[in-house]
Amino acid sequence: MTLRVVHVCAYFAPAFVYGGPPRSVVGLSRAQQDAGIDVCVVTTTANGDAELDDAIVARGQYDGIPVRYCERAWPRSIFYAPSLRNVLASELANADVLHIHGLWNATVWTAAAAAAVARKPYVLSPRGMLTAAARAHHALRKKLVYPFADARVIRGAARLHATSRDEFEELNRITAAGRSVYVPNGVDLPPATNGCRAPIVLFLGRIHPIKRLDLLAAAFEQVLANHPRAQLVIAGPDEGGHRATVAPLFAPFGDSVRWVGGVDDERKHQLLGAASVLVMCSNSESFGMSAAEAMAAGTPVVVTRTCPWPDVDTHNTGYWVEQTAGAIADAVDAILSNPAAALEMGRRGRELIAANYSWPRAAAALIREYHTIAR
């Protein structure tokens, strides 16, 4: 008998304005389909400040994955969708397991309640939303809501899924031993590049306070002193108008900085293939998808220790550094100053991703957990 899994998330493809989580759920769902699992996604029509087009909603699928898009209504900021409860009741009637992605929103609260009514077990993937940095964002609201909503969602989960070892340790601190599992996200391997790269420093992610673009600006000023031909490319959607806040920090660099906005997968792979180094200096990341995608493309990375990538250090695929402008600048300078060593870092990074971070591997690990809790 085929296992049937329903994934629930507050936003889903093609709402890539929300960064890595929608792409992660797409990758996981597709890999589980390929493994023979019956998969369905239930989500809202959220697409940043707007809603997804009616044509997308009516299509009822994304890249071959069945999707039920539920119209978002007031209060839109907490991803409330009035029809979600009934849609979930319908989908869960013939499902074996529910998989909830994220926290701190009405979609998640409704999904956990629907699972209880349907008497179905669920896996919860917090997606980094229990880290100190994530809880500090809208801290008062989260503190007030947590005991009545999100704490119940966590208690009701049959499994808690961490995508990094740091997150796994955090989940073990707040819940009983044995309930949490560590399964990293997968990453698709693009075609290998020829290794001829211009001095391009790449940032790939949401323009959001947690990403610390202020640190990147300070670091790039130091990089330019040693590499006056260096270019900084900032790729990612502007969230909450934060670009207007940080853009003045980059203005003194003139044409050395390019803002390219949100990019599709094709453009993203082009940027990763052309870049000399990718920088990630966020206050926190649940997984850090852009660092993994850069290594998959054979691009060295500079990642701060606030992000869960000790593999960068242990496998010498770049530099895992303190979260300071000086440390970031020194690491970028080292990569730009030694193209031969950078090429070897990129090769090792690609090998690391191929060996340890594939979507079939992630899908298989979670399918084993689904079977266990379904029994």
Q: Tens digit of pLDDT for each residue in 232-241?
A: 999 999 988 9
Question: Does residue 192 lie within any of the structural domains?
Answer: no
Judged against a pLDDT cut of 90, whether residue 157 lies above it is answered with: yes
* Predicted pLDDT of residue 129: 86
73 CB-contact burial (10 Å; exposed 0-12 / middle 13-18 / buried 19+): middle
Q: Report which of 105, 96, 77 is spatially closest to residue 7, judged by C-alpha positions.
A: 96
Are residues 345 and 244 both part of a single domain?
A: yes
* Predicted pLDDT of residue 206: 93
Are residues 161 and 281 both part of a single domain?
A: no
Are residues 171 and 207 both part of a single domain?
A: no
* Predicted pLDDT of residue 292: 96
When pLDDT is averaged across residues 228-253 and rounded to a whole number, the result is: 95
When pLDDT is averaged across residues 72-76 and rounded to a whole number, the result is: 94
Judged against a pLDDT cut of 70, whether residue 152 lies above it is answered with: yes
Are residues 60 and 130 both part of a single domain?
A: yes
Are residues 304 and 261 both part of a single domain?
A: yes
CA torsion sign, 209 to 210 to 214 to 216?
negative
Question: Does residue 193 lie within any of the structural domains?
Answer: no
| Number of neighbours of residue 108 by Cβ within 10 angstroms | 24
Question: Does residue 195 lie within any of the structural domains?
Answer: no
User: Would you put residue 200 in left (φ > 0), alpha (ψ -120 to 50) or beta?
Assistant: beta
Token pair for 208? 């959001």
98 CB-contact burial (10 Å; exposed 0-12 / middle 13-18 / buried 19+): buried
* Predicted pLDDT of residue 330: 98
Owning domain of residue 176: 4-186+358-374
What DSSP string describes 56-69?
A: HHHH-EETTEEEEE
State the chain's mean pLDDT as an integer: 94
What DSSP string describes 40-96?
A: EEEEE-EETTEE--HHHHHH-EETTEEEEEE--BSSGGGTB-TTHHHHHHHHHTT-S
- 15-72 pLDDT, tens digit per residue, is 988 888 899 999 999 999 999 999 999 999 999 989 999 999 999 999 999 999 999 9
Sheet with 38-44, strands from edge to edge, namely 61-62, 65-70, 38-44, 4-9, 97-101, 122-125, 159-162, 180-182
Give the CATH number for residue 80. Answer: 3.40.50.2000
Judged against a pLDDT cut of 80, whether residue 79 lies above it is answered with: yes
> How many whole angstroms separate alpha carbon 204 and alpha carbon 295?
13
* Predicted pLDDT of residue 197: 67
pTM beyond cutoff 0.75: yes
Judged against a pLDDT cut of 60, whether residue 196 lies above it is answered with: no
Question: Does residue 191 lie within any of the structural domains?
Answer: no
Q: Report which of 295, 332, 338 is spatially closest to residue 314, judged by C-alpha positions.
A: 295
* Predicted pLDDT of residue 159: 96
Question: Does residue 339 lie within any of the structural domains?
Answer: yes
Q: How confident is the model at residue 97 (pLDDT cuts 50, 70, 90)?
A: very high
Question: Does residue 146 lie within any of the structural domains?
Answer: yes
Report the number of distinct structural domains present in the chain: 2
Question: Does residue 84 lie within any of the structural domains?
Answer: yes
- Range of lowest pLDDT (43-47, 103-107, 262-266, 350-354): 262-266
DSSP-derived letter for residue 238 is B
* More confidently predicted of 198 and 337: 337
* More confidently predicted of 190 and 251: 251
Q: How confident is the model at residue 178 (pLDDT cuts 50, 70, 90)?
A: confident
Are residues 68 and 155 both part of a single domain?
A: yes
Are residues 278 and 301 both part of a single domain?
A: yes
Q: How confident is the model at residue 146 (pLDDT cuts 50, 70, 90)?
A: confident
* Contact assessment for residue 312 and residue 291, using Cβ atoms and an 8 Å cutoff: yes
